[in-house]
Structures are given as structure tokens and as C-alpha cells.
Structure 1
């Protein structure tokens, strides 16, 4: 079975990569800014723990937040994690409100040992999602007092393929490095009419680039772990295709059709994070993270705002009654968390921040391995009701199937 598992996995990766960003996979109006709404969901258990876990080890599943965690994966384990997410959004401004559902895959990941002390992993995740519609956008006709209304839609986003490597330097210290490749496209379409003529303008922007990162985890004691991560800044390369169609009396005329034009690249900032993991008593673990993203250092602006430094704080807790018990209910893992984010985009001097409350369960699906069904729910809010801003309330659901197989272990049968 293992001989066919990797080819099937590679085909799955290729298929998801090709289709992951083929349409709008978020409902947030804030996805029109920058590269879109940045991905919220992670792998395994972190979704329910306030979306944090820099100091979490990898012994209970793949932790994509810190490459150093891979070094704590059990020596004969092959881990596989596939996740899905669904989001229900409620938008509100001073004039109206709207609801929208969206669905997307959240990750596909695997990890395996390459030596007694080192583990290699690969993950495919959406990096950003774009999916918005603006109706009745009013624009002045240049050189006159006339106006026209247009409909603007956006879709697409970027994906990230990340290679993680973790090395156990000692029984207490684990180091890690990561290399990710970001790629994808964002499409914007605008439709409007002037008199008897109809215009449709389309622009597809393509971005790609590589990014490096590093991390560590250190066990100060069996009950206290410290972790840290860094992602280095990078400028993504950009190009664009543009087209303008004019329709008169049912006949379409190409006004503009260009492809491969160079556009300014998009800068991603340096990102730094610190986290702790506490185990005050048997069965309970508590994690806390602080991350800072230095967007101000990119010195770039969006059409309606500017990028500012971002601070993210998260807390989480997990409780399992007794992992040695014969009762199934004693193995269920209960999780809860909270995260707050002051945002990285400032519009009219107001940053678009938000918060989320999370909860979830880890349901074992095997008595012989650590395979688990991880469920999480989040309720969150971002933005505010004011000029040019929208308050967004959302319900966010994730489902992760985390599988563990023990390789090179001789089975014994009686």
C-alpha cells in the first residue's frame, strides 16, 4: 500500500494546486486589499487553540507554525494531514447588510523521518483568498460632469508550498528551517455601460516568489517549552494580462489586449513570533503566542490605505482526561482559545483589526496510532461600521483528518 501512497499523494497535490484558487474562495470584502484575505486555518490542532502553537511539539500531529516542531515527531511515524474550511460571513455598514457562505480546502501536509534526529515535511496551503463583488460603483467620466456605475468582482489568490525541516540537536533543543514557494493569480473584472455601449475590463495579476524561515523549540522543563520563529521578507515578482472589450449593437470589439506586462512586485514583511507551552498538571496544556509582522518596513500602499505593523496575540488550552484509559471518551481532546489581531491595513487612519474565539475537539479514529479527526469552530469579527469601512462577523469551521502510520514496524499476529 505504501508503494502507491506517495504517487497518489503527489497527484492529489497537483490537482489541488491547479484548482485551489480557480474561483472566489472567501466572502470577505476586505479581500480586495493587498493580496487578499490571508489564510486563517492551520494544520491539525492549532485551529482550535486560538490559531497559535509556536511551542507545540509535533508528537500529536503536524504543526506548520514552527519547523522545529517536526523534530519531535515519533521516530517511526509517517504523518498525513488534510483539512477543509467553511466560512459564513455577515457584513454590515451604515446602509445595508449581507450574508455569504464560502468553502475551501485549508491544507494538505505530510511529514516523515529522514534520520534518527531529523524530519522532513511538505505542506500545501492557500496563502491568501480573494472573493468580492462591488455593485453600483460610481465614477466620473473624465472631462465631463457625467457619471457611470460599474460592477467590480475579484477572485483568485495565492498558494504556498512549504518544505519544513526539523533537527533534534539534543533532548531539549530542536531547530528548524523552512523554504516556501508562493504562487497564484488575482483576477479583477469591471463591467459598465455608457450610453448604448457596454465595456468589460479584465485584469489578471500573477505573483510568485520564494521565502525562507527558521524556528526553534527548547524544553526548559518537562512542563515548560519555549518556541520562536522568523520569516524573512521577500518581494514577489508580478506580471499582468489586461483586456478591454467594447460591445455596440451586440458586436464585441477588442479595445485592448495585452499579456505578460510587468507590474510592481508585492513585498511581504519580516515576521517574528514567540510562544510558550505550559503543562500545569496531567492532561492539561496551555499555549500562548505573540507575533509581529513588520509591514511598515515594506513602504508600500494599497489604493485606499497604507500598510502598518501588525501584532497578533493568541491563547489556547487543551485537555484530555486519560490517554492510557480503555474508555474512548477519556481519549477525546477538548480545546479552546482566543486570538486578537490589530490588523496590517490602515484606512482613513483606522486599522482593520479583529478578534476570534475558538473551540474544538480531537476525536481519535485509531486505537493503535495517533490518527485523529480534528474539528474546530471560530466566531470572529473584523472592521467597524464607519465611513468606507464594513464590520464583518464570521463563523469559521475547519475539519482536519490527521493520520499516522507506523513505518518499518514488524506486525505480530497470534
Structure 2
């Protein structure tokens, strides 16, 4: 019965996920004003337990669910097990600057992933998560009319983002040492609309930029002891190709004039940097698991800049803690997982020589869905802050709630009849 229910959930999730992915291009997965720059807000939300443990996972050894932060961990998928993870995320954002306050709420799917074992020590998996999110609205931007002292106000909106479709393979060179390869297809579009009016004239500019490209990565994990695991990852730099479709329309004295039909042009590619990560996890007093990650993203080497800022090297520090009394305990509370974490990101974009840094506090609980199965319902909460009230910067506070169905099916098992 449980396996049949899991398959129904998976089928429904596949259908809804792709419907929401298409719909997200017109509604946005974020409302952060900082998504105005580059490809938008780079997503840190991960899969399953990682969301409540400070987004750690590079050195986190797990055999009971998907860990997509290190491809080498896929080597640990148990025989006859098929894992899949479906997530949904809701976010409440509040913003403040020197003169205004605002708040917004967004809701959408956060991930879809599955993993399976191919043969002894060899496992694979596929995941789809948002790589970046764009969703900003700028109202009442005042500009001067060239050649006069008059001004006009314009409104600008941006929506969209990129998706990360990843294929992972992990292989165990020994019982303690694992390596992995990750190949990602990054694709998506960012749409920007600008409108303004002067007297009886109305102007509308629509620009849609499509990005795509392949990215490759490597990972490894090594069990120093049965309680301590270390890991590392590398994401190779890549330049995403882009194409821009632009259309311009205006209305003059009530008569619509088509200024420019839709035109598609190639645009300069957006460069993603070399990314390296290191992590470790350790079991303490049998019931506690502590994990820690460090990531370095070399944005300086991309030599990219925005109109009012530049891209700078980024450091991310993350810590997570999980308490599990007994994974096969007879009492339900003994099988529940309690989690907490902390994440600090010193930022990758410097505006007026001030980097946009931020921190996130996480907490969560894992609710088992049966004593004989590894299926678990992961509920995570995060509170974070980004930026500051200074010059043109905005201070952003956010609350995020993530729900992940981390499910397991047992396949290809022979039935025994007495």
C-alpha cells in the first residue's frame, strides 16, 4: 500500500512540477530586489535534510535518502532501493530602505529528484532544482526627458530564472572512498518589462533573454573512520550562451504604433565561476550528526560587472546538526529527526564597494513514514537576512518554509512463498 501511494505521489509530482516550472516563468520564484542583477538570486535551497542543516552536505554520508550536494554519495544507494524527493517551498520576504518598507510572499516547487543503484558500489540519480530566481518590481523610477527640465516615471518588472537539470553518477573505489561526476544542463529565461507614459503617449519595452549551457563537476567522499567522513566538490567554470528577444510598442494620442517587431539577437554569455567546496561530518554520542561545509566561488576571474557593481569572490560557511535517537526504534519519537543549522554567505556582488552578504538560521524535523522504510517527510524552516539599509542598498529579511517528501520504493525484490 505504501509503495503504491509513493508511486501515485511521484506521478502527480512530475506533472505538477513541470506545470509549475513553466508557470514560474510568469510569476517568479522570488520577490527579492537583489534578483535584479545578473541571473538573479543564486538558489541555496537543496533536497531533503540539507535544508534544515544549514544547506550542508558535501561531507554528509547518507545511505537512506538523496544527497545532491556531492555526486559521490550516490554510490551509497542501497541495493533494490529507488529514492525520490519532491519539494515545495514558500517564502515571505520583507524589505526596508531609508524611506520605505514592503513585504511579499511566493510559493512554488523547490525540487524533483530520484536516485537508484546500478550495480555494486555504483549509483546514479537525476535532480531538477532552480539555479537562480528573478522576481523584482521597480515602481516610479524618475528620469529626465532629454533636452528639457521635465521628468517622467517608469515601472520595471523582471521575472524568470534558470533551472539546473543534473545527472549524477557515484562509484565506490572501496568501502571507504567514493568518487562522483555531475553533468548539469542549465537553461531558462529572464523577462524584463519597462513601461512609462508622458501626457497621452505610452511606451512599452519587452525583453526576453534565454540562457543555456552545460556544466560539469566532480566530487569525492572518504570515511576516515566509521564516524568521520570528509568530502570535496568542484564545479567547473562555464560561459552560458544567451539570446535576446526584444519588442517595443508605444501609443501616441490614443493610436498604437509598433516601433519594433520582435527581434532575436545573440547577447554576451554570462560566465559562471570555478566553485570548490570542502565538507566533513561526524557522529557524536551515537545520536548526533554534525556537518560543516566551506565553499569558495571565484567570481573575480569572470571579469564581469553590473552598471553599479562588480562580481567578487564569494565565501560560504555552513554548519548543521541532527539528532536521531534510533532509526529503527519501536517508539515513533525515537525515529524522528531533529535538525538545526547556520549558513553565512559573504556575497558575490559588490554595489558601491559594499558586498551584499547575508546569513540564514535553519531548523527542521524529519517525520518517518513507516518503521520498515526509509521514507520520510522533511519539514524545514529558515530565517535569514541580506543586505543593509545604507546608500542605495536594501535590507531584506525572509522566512522560508520547505516541505520535502523523501520517499523510498523497494524494487526488483524476489517474493518468497512458503
- Asked if TM exceeds 0.5, the reply is yes
Which deviates more from structure 2 when the two are superposed, residues 115-124 or residues 379-388?
Answer: 115-124
- Number of residue pairs aligned between Structure 1 and Structure 2: 414
* Distance of aligned partners of 1:135 and 1:280 in 2 relative to their CA distance in 1, 3 Å threshold: same
Q: 2: distance between equivalents of 1:68 and 1:228?
A: 9
Matched, 1:45 2:20: no
Q: 2: distance between equivalents of 1:272 and 1:44?
A: 22
Matched, 1:161 2:203: no
Q: How does 1:94-243 map to 2 (within 5 A)?
A: 94-243=98-247
Structure 1 residue matching 2:301: 3-state secondary structure: helix
Q: 2: distance between equivalents of 1:89 and 1:218?
A: 39
* Distance of aligned partners of 1:194 and 1:241 in 2 relative to their CA distance in 1, 3 Å threshold: same
Structure 2 residue matching 1:379: 3-state secondary structure: strand
Q: 2: distance between equivalents of 1:157 and 1:52?
A: 23
Aligned to 2:363: 359
Q: Tell me, yes or no, if the aligned pair for 2:52 and 2:363 is still in contact at 8 Å.
A: yes
Aligned to 1:85: 89
Structure 2 residue matching 1:221: 3-state secondary structure: coil
Q: 2: distance between equivalents of 1:264 and 1:165?
A: 32
Q: 2: distance between equivalents of 1:6 and 1:373?
A: 14
Structure 2 residue matching 1:75: 3-state secondary structure: coil
Matched, 1:278 2:272: no
Q: 2: distance between equivalents of 1:55 and 1:64?
A: 11
Q: Tell me, yes or no, if the aligned pair for 2:195 and 2:204 is still in contact at 8 Å.
A: yes
Which deviates more from structure 2 when the two are superposed, residues 384-393 or residues 253-262?
Answer: 253-262
Q: Tell me, yes or no, if the aligned pair for 1:76 and 1:113 is still in contact at 8 Å.
A: yes
Which deviates more from structure 2 when the two are superposed, residues 294-303 or residues 251-260?
Answer: 251-260
Q: Tell me, yes or no, if the aligned pair for 1:21 and 1:129 is still in contact at 8 Å.
A: no
Which deviates more from structure 2 when the two are superposed, residues 387-396 or residues 12-21?
Answer: 12-21
- Tell me the CA shift for residue 77 of structure 1: 0.8
Which deviates more from structure 2 when the two are superposed, residues 220-229 or residues 142-151?
Answer: 142-151
Q: Tell me, yes or no, if the aligned pair for 1:58 and 1:71 is still in contact at 8 Å.
A: no
- Tell me the CA shift for residue 244 of structure 1: 1.1
Aligned to 2:273: 269
Structure 2 residue matching 1:297: 3-state secondary structure: helix
Aligned to 2:380: 376
Q: 1: distance between equivalents of 2:334 and 2:193?
A: 53
- Tell me the CA shift for residue 76 of structure 1: 1.7
Q: Tell me, yes or no, if the aligned pair for 1:119 and 1:167 is still in contact at 8 Å.
A: yes
Q: How does 1:286-325 map to 2 (within 5 A)?
A: 286-325=290-329
Q: Tell me, yes or no, if the aligned pair for 2:6 and 2:409 is still in contact at 8 Å.
A: no
* Distance of aligned partners of 1:164 and 1:104 in 2 relative to their CA distance in 1, 3 Å threshold: same
- Tell me the CA shift for residue 13 of structure 1: 6.0
Unaligned runs of 5+ in 2: none
Structure 2 residue matching 1:279: 3-state secondary structure: strand
Q: Could you tell me the TM-score, scaled by structure 1's length? A: 0.96
Structure 1 residue matching 2:119: 3-state secondary structure: coil
Q: Tell me, yes or no, if the aligned pair for 2:13 and 2:86 is still in contact at 8 Å.
A: no
Unaligned runs of 5+ in 1: none
Q: 1: distance between equivalents of 2:98 and 2:326?
A: 51
1:390 aligns with one of 391, 394, 397: 394
Q: 2: distance between equivalents of 1:129 and 1:48?
A: 20
* Distance of aligned partners of 1:6 and 1:328 in 2 relative to their CA distance in 1, 3 Å threshold: closer
